[in-house]
Amino acid sequence: MVFPACRALAEQASFSSIETFLAGRNFSLIYPSILVVNINHLPDNAAWRITSAIADIYWKGCILTDCSVRYAIAPMSLNIPSHASQFLRSRIANVCVAIAGATSAEILEKATVAVKETPFLEIRLDYLEKPLLALPKFKQFFADNTAATAIATCRRSANGGKFAGSLAAELEILTKCAAVGFHMVDLELESAEALKKADLQKLRDTGIGLLISHHDFTGTHDLDGFFTRIEAFHPDFIKVVTTAKSLIDNLTLIHFLERMNDNSNLIGICMGDAGIISRVLGVRAGSAFTFAAATVGEETGPGQIAARTLLETYRIDQVDAATKVYGVAGNPIRSSLSPIMMNTAFRRETVNAVYLALQTTRLSDLLKLVHDIPIQGISVTMPLKQEIMAHLERTDPLSARIGACNTVLRAQDGKLYGFNTDVAGITGPLEKRMPLAGAKVLVLGAGGAARAAVFGLREKDANVFILNRTAETAHKLARQSGSKTIRLDALAKTSFDAIINATPVGMAGNKSAPLLEARDLNTKLVFDLVYNPLETPLIHLARQLSIPFITGIEMFVHQGARQFEIWTGKPAPEEEMFRVVLHALRQQAEAAAAEAEESKPEAKSKSSAKPVAKPASKTKAETKPSAKLKSEAKPKAAAKPPAKPVVKKTAAKAKK
């Protein structure tokens, strides 16, 4: 059946009256399995209003009847994707949540939860053993969740998916997706090119939206070439996904999106840990939307971010051309809580900014990113704290003496200025507990954080001893700072007022053996600069020996608050920053405890009659000292931005 629409209808009826006219008709009379609207002679704006009204009104009706398609709006002699694409764009959000599971029941359960917060979903049918048999189960889901907009993906294993079936089997599954309520299907470029035109047309004839994608798992290459190959099929959406091997690959993708800005139906993403920039800033650059995981641990692609993190931490819906970009740079930073801490501070103080994790060991890549995006400020971590010094226009006096910088500010003239907030983050917590003048302090390590600790303590007239696995580096730092070195075998015979761990040993993901044993902790206080996990091996050892300790959270939040003030000129919401970091660490501890419990052998768990203690209560007890620190680390009521640095540019790089 053809529903005629002429210029007279468009001229005499407003959008609302068209809707009323159509709604008054019986579905069974005017809604066949394919509804064709002749709009050849209508102005574009009228055509669009009419087709949108028709699709919206019959959306639910098509699901509840036995129609073979969800909807179909086909202009008689115009390019089919044009209006379908526009209609889909009116329903989709910036974030599409990828849902995967081993069974259809698991996928539907996850989708039911996800759709309440983010109604734009991708259902990964290729994760199912028999996706074709599972399709009917989705019909009721779409009937119950009419606000949902869903993409069906059944990617073959040859193209990076999980589906082991043939091309014909994939096509059959995608073709039947329209009948159960899916709005769009994701077809790989390789499959599209292998299909006969007639077979691809059968998929189009269902009226379902067509997204054609290409995934490059080797790097970021020939984006224009892949775009051209996909564009030849005139799909509703074009998806080009690459793998970021470096930060620069994000720039390549972003520049590509900006050049293609006229194409509003293009999706561009870089996979991998280094691709986070594209996932957060891609929509601003012109990507129609981006993809996210349902929750942490349920990623369907390398580097995928959880939907809640994208929406709440990175506030992707609010990122616009005026949004300033900041980040933490170094390696490793996968477990860094700097993004959640800084983005919380930006939101609390209504600063239009976003803070990203920039994983890299190549300073040249980072500097190019800083100037091209641009990035307004960087939290510099290992291994770049010393190397970046040679690229700064000026530094504060403290950074110059230490030879390491952890905070970079990009001024309006594009020049970079360096500061060191690590020192205050280390000496401040110590001074709350003991006078530093004359104190005997052991510092473990000789890198950027250790240099900040050593020079900061020496400035307070403390007697500093340095222990490092590479003795030569320790001797050099000792000479520069007026400190002493000490051998590991001498620790058991030497007592200290404080021992500070300024190495990454104990950090989440770091497998290095502990530097100290119980007999080596002859000290009144232990300070571990590592903040993640909540209880490091060193803190655990100190607790067992009843030695007072300071966790790395206090130092982490204190130095971060100073960075915030340098970048924004506003007092930092330090208590809120502390709260969100502590909460995140407790969540991680609970998740780790639950995972460890699940991984225990089944026989062992059955033999245990006593219930396992809840991870949350254990964490609360173990982090009680940290709660005390919270009350001590209040920001000053009248914090002022640091003075402009005056030291001249460092002459040469400081060696690691």
Residues 6+ apart with CB under 8 A from 347: 315
d(CA 301, CA 312): 20
Residues 6+ apart with CB under 8 A from 35: 1, 3, 54, 58, 71, 72, 73
Residue 52 tokens, joined = 């949108």
Q: Cβ distance 553 to 541 under 8 Å? A: no
AA identity, residue 590? E
- Name the CA dihedral angle for 452, 455, 459, 462, rounded to a multiple of 10 degrees: 100
What's the N-to-C CA distance of the chain in angstroms? Answer: 76
Query: What order of strands is seen across the sheet that includes strand 526-528?
Result: 484-485, 463-467, 440-444, 498-501, 526-528, 549-550
d(CA 169, CA 86): 29
**HSE-up (13 A, CA, CB side) for residue 228:** 4
How far, CA to CA in Å, does 472 sit from each of 121, 445, 464, 502?
A: 56, 12, 17, 17
d(CA 315, CA 351): 12
Residues 6+ apart with CB under 8 A from 483: 443, 454, 458, 464, 465, 466, 477
Q: Which residues are catalytic?
A: 385
d(CA 112, CA 120): 12
AA identity, residue 5? A
Tell me which residue of 229, 340, 331, 216 sits closest to 268, measured CA to CA. Answer: 216
- Other C-beta atoms within 10 Å of 532: how many? 20
d(CA 465, CA 546): 23
Residue 356 bridge partners (DSSP): 327
Residues shown for the chain: 656
The DSSP letter of residue 153 is E
Instruction: Mark residue 88 as left, alpha or beta (left: phi above 0; alpha: psi -120 to 50; beta: remaining).
Output: alpha
d(CA 242, CA 282): 13
Helices (H) and strands (E) in the chain, counts: 27, 22
d(CA 403, CA 652): 10
d(CA 327, CA 307): 20
d(CA 614, CA 220): 45
Look at the alpha carbons of 180, 186, 192, 194 in this order and tell me if their dihedral is positive or negative. Answer: negative
Task: State residue 71 phi and psi, 5-degree precision.
Answer: -165, 160
Question: Could you tell me whether strands 36-38 and 95-99 are parallel, antiparallel, or unpaired per DSSP bridges?
Answer: unpaired
Residues 6+ apart with CB under 8 A from 16: none
Q: Cβ distance 193 to 219 under 8 Å? A: no
d(CA 389, CA 380): 11
- Other C-beta atoms within 10 Å of 166: how many? 10
Q: Cβ distance 592 to 533 under 8 Å? A: yes
Question: Could you tell me whether strands 237-243 and 149-153 are parallel, antiparallel, or unpaired per DSSP bridges?
Answer: unpaired
